[in-house]
C-alpha cells in the first residue's frame, strides 16, 4: 500500500474588529501547518483480534510546542479529526499516521489559535477518510466544537467575513447544542476501542456566512502582549444585558465598517470611528493593562497611515489596520504598553483572501 502524503494549512484569525462582536472575522498571514502521512485504510475493518492500528505519532514545533499534548486522544486537532471520522463511518485512525504540526499562531492572545486547531482537525479528518465533505458540512462539524462562528468561519474560508448561527428546528438545535464533552469525550487510561465511538453528528446548515470586500492597501499590525488571556475569562467580565443606546452604537458602526474596509482608497476618518465598540472592549480593560490608553492615544492624527484600532478577538492582542506607518504604529502601541508594565511583540500581517487548504503531495 502506497503512503499518502499531504499538507494542511490554516490561517490565524482576528474576530470582532471593533463593533462586530461574535459576528465578523478576518484571516491573517500566520499559519498552523500540518504535514501528514499515512497508509490507506485496509479494505476490511480491523478484526477484533487485531484491534485498531497503533495511535498516531505527533510532533510539534513553533508556538506552544512545550504545552501541546502529543497524545492523539488529548490533542485538540486529532480529537476533532477523530470526531469527523466517526461521524462519517470511520471508527479509527488509519495505519501509520504521522503528523508534524508547525504553529505560528500564539496561544491565548486573541488570534484564533483554538479555531485554527479545530479547522485543522476538521480538514484532517476529511482528508484521512477521503470524505470529500462540502464546505458547509466542514463548517457544521467545526461548529459542534467551537460554538462561535466568527473565528472558525474566517479560518476555513479566508478573507473578511460575517457569520451567524441559524435558527434551527427544535430537534436540530438540540443536536447542535449537546455538551462538548459528548462531542469530544475525554479518554481515560482504561478506555477501550469502543470509547466515544458513536458521537453526536452535526445537523446540516448550523452556520452561514458572507464574504465582505477588502481594500488591498490595508494591512494589519498585530501588537501581542506577552501574557495569555483565555476566552472564557474575557467573556466572564461581560454583562448579561446592554442598553439600547450601546447596541445601536455598535450596529451603526458595524453597518458602515463592513463596506468601508472594502473601499479604495480607505477613508481613515470613517473607519477609525466605525471600529469603536461599547459591547466588549470597555469591560475587558480590567484584564488588559494599558488598553484604554492604547485605544485613546493611537489615532490617525498621531500615527498617519492608521485606519482603526481595536482588540483582536477577546484580547490581549491589539489589531491596528493601516495603509502605512506600520513601524510607527507598532512602536507607538508598544510604548503605551511599556508604560503600563506590559511587554509586547508586534508583527505586520497580510489579510489573506485564501482560507485553509489541503495540498496533496502524492504517494
Please say if the pLDDT value at position 191 is more than 90.
no
Given this model, what pLDDT does residue 192 score?
63
Residue 360's H or E segment, with its range, is strand 357-360
Burial of 78: CB neighbours in 10 Å, binned 0-12, 13-18, 19+: buried
Q: What is the mean pLDDT of residues 260-275?
A: 97
List of E strands, 53-171: 57-62, 98-103, 160-165
Given this model, what pLDDT does residue 55 score?
86
Band (pLDDT 50/70/90 cuts) for residue 198 is confident
Average pLDDT of every residue of the chain = 93
Given this model, what pLDDT does residue 197 score?
79
Q: How far apart are the first and last CA of the chain?
A: 10
Q: At what angle do helices 113-128 and 135-145 cross, to 10 degrees?
A: 130
pTM summary value: 0.94
Rounded distance, CA 144 to CA 177, Å?
7
- CB-based contact 171:221 (threshold 8 Å): no
The answer to whether the Cα torsion of 306, 308, 312, 316 is positive or negative is positive
Please say if the pLDDT value at position 19 is more than 90.
yes
Given this model, what pLDDT does residue 361 score?
80
Please say if the pLDDT value at position 341 is more than 70.
yes
Q: At what angle do helices 113-128 and 76-87 cross, to 10 degrees?
A: 40
Given this model, what pLDDT does residue 49 score?
46
Residues 6 or more apart from 334 whose CB is under 8 A from it? 223, 344, 346
Rounded distance, CA 256 to CA 315, Å?
23
**DSSP SS3 for 314:** coil
Band (pLDDT 50/70/90 cuts) for residue 187 is confident
Band (pLDDT 50/70/90 cuts) for residue 363 is low
Given this model, what pLDDT does residue 116 score?
97
List of E strands, 147-253: 160-165, 207-212, 219-225
Given this model, what pLDDT does residue 193 score?
64
What is the DSSP code (8-state) at residue 294?
Answer: H
**DSSP SS3 for 315:** coil
Given this model, what pLDDT does residue 50 score?
63
Band (pLDDT 50/70/90 cuts) for residue 168 is confident
Burial of 326: CB neighbours in 10 Å, binned 0-12, 13-18, 19+: buried
Band (pLDDT 50/70/90 cuts) for residue 181 is confident
Given this model, what pLDDT does residue 179 score?
87
Q: Which residues of 298-308 are buried (b: 16+ CB within 10 A; e: fewer)?
A: bebeebebbbb
Residue-wise pLDDT tens digits, 29-84: 999 999 999 999 887 655 444 667 788 999 999 999 999 999 999 999 999 999 99
Question: Measuring CA to CA, how many Å separate 36 from each of 58, 78, 304, 345?
Answer: 10, 12, 44, 31
Residues 6 or more apart from 118 whose CB is under 8 A from it? 76, 77, 80, 142, 145, 146, 152
Residue-wise pLDDT tens digits, 210-267: 999 999 999 999 999 999 988 899 999 999 999 999 999 999 999 999 999 999 999 9
pLDDT > 90: percent of the chain: 81
- Give the neighbor-by-neighbor strand order of the sheet with 219-225: 306-311, 318-322, 219-225, 344-349
Given this model, what pLDDT does residue 1 score?
62
Q: Which three cell numbers stand for residue 254?
A: 458595524
Rounded distance, CA 20 to CA 138, Å?
24
Given this model, what pLDDT does residue 48 score?
47
Q: What is the mean pLDDT of residues 82-108?
A: 95
Q: Tell me how far apart the 2 most distant CA atoms of the chain are, in Å.
A: 72
Band (pLDDT 50/70/90 cuts) for residue 196 is confident
What is the DSSP code (8-state) at residue 287?
Answer: G
Amino acid at each position: 500500500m502506497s503512503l499518502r502524503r499531504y499538507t494542511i494549512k490554516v490561517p490565524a484569525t482576528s474576530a470582532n474588529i471593533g463593533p462586530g462582536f461574535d459576528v465578523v472575522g478576518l484571516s491573517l498571514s500566520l499559519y498552523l501547518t500540518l504535514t501528514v502521512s499515512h497508509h490507506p485504510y485496509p479494505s476490511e475493518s480491523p478484526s477484533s483480534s487485531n484491534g485498531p492500528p497503533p495511535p498516531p505519532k505527533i510532533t510539534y514545533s513553533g508556538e506552544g510546542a512545550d504545552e501541546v499534548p502529543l497524545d492523539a486522544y488529548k490533542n485538540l486537532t486529532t480529537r476533532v479529526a477523530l470526531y469527523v471520522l466517526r461521524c462519517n463511518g470511520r471508527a479509527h485512525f488509519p495505519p501509520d499516521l504521522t503528523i508534524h504540526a508547525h504553529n505560528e499562531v500564539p496561544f491565548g492572545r486573541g488570534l484564533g489559535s483554538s479555531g485554527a486547531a479545530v479547522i485543522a482537525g476538521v480538514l484532517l479528518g476529511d482528508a484521512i477518510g477521503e470524505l470529500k465533505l462540502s464546505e458547509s458540512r466542514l463548517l457544521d462539524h467545526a461548529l459542534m466544537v467551537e460554538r462561535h462562528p466568527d473565528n472558525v468561519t474566517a479560518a476555513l474560508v479566508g478573507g473578511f467575513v460575517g457569520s451567524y448561527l441559524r435558527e434551527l428546528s427544535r430537534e436540530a438545535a438540540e443536536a447542535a447544542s449537546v455538551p462538548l464533552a459528548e462531542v469530544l469525550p475525554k479518554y481515560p487510561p482504561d478506555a477501550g476501542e469502543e470509547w466515544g465511538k458513536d458521537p453526536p453528528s452535526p445537523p446540516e446548515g448550523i452556520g452561514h456566512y458572507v464574504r465582505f470586500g477588502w481594500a488591498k492597501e490595508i494591512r494589519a499590525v498585530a501588537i501581542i502582549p506577552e501574557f495569555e488571556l483565555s476566552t472564557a475569562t474575557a467573556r466572564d467580565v461581560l454583562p448579561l444585558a446592554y442598553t439600547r443606546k450601546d447596541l445601536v452604537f455598535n450596529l451603526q458602526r458595524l453597518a458602515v465598517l463592513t463596506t468601508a474596509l472594502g473601499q479604495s482608497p480607505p477613508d481613515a476618518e470613517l473607519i477609525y470611528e466605525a471600529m469603536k465598540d461599547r459591547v466588549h472592549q470597555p469591560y475587558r480593560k480590567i484584564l488588559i493593562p494599558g488598553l484604554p490608553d492604547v485605544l485613546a492615544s493611537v489615532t490617525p492624527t498621531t500615527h498617519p497611515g492608521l485606519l482603526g484600532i481595536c482588540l483582536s478577538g477577546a484580547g490581549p492582542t491589539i489589531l491596528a489596520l493601516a495603509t502605512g506607518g506600520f513601524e510607527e504604529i507598532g512602536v507607538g502601541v508598544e510604548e503605551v504598553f511599556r508604560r503600563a508594565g506590559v511587554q509586547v511583540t508586534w508583527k505586520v500581517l497580510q489579510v489573506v483572501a485564501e482560507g485553509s487548504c489541503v495540498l496533496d503531495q502524492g504517494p
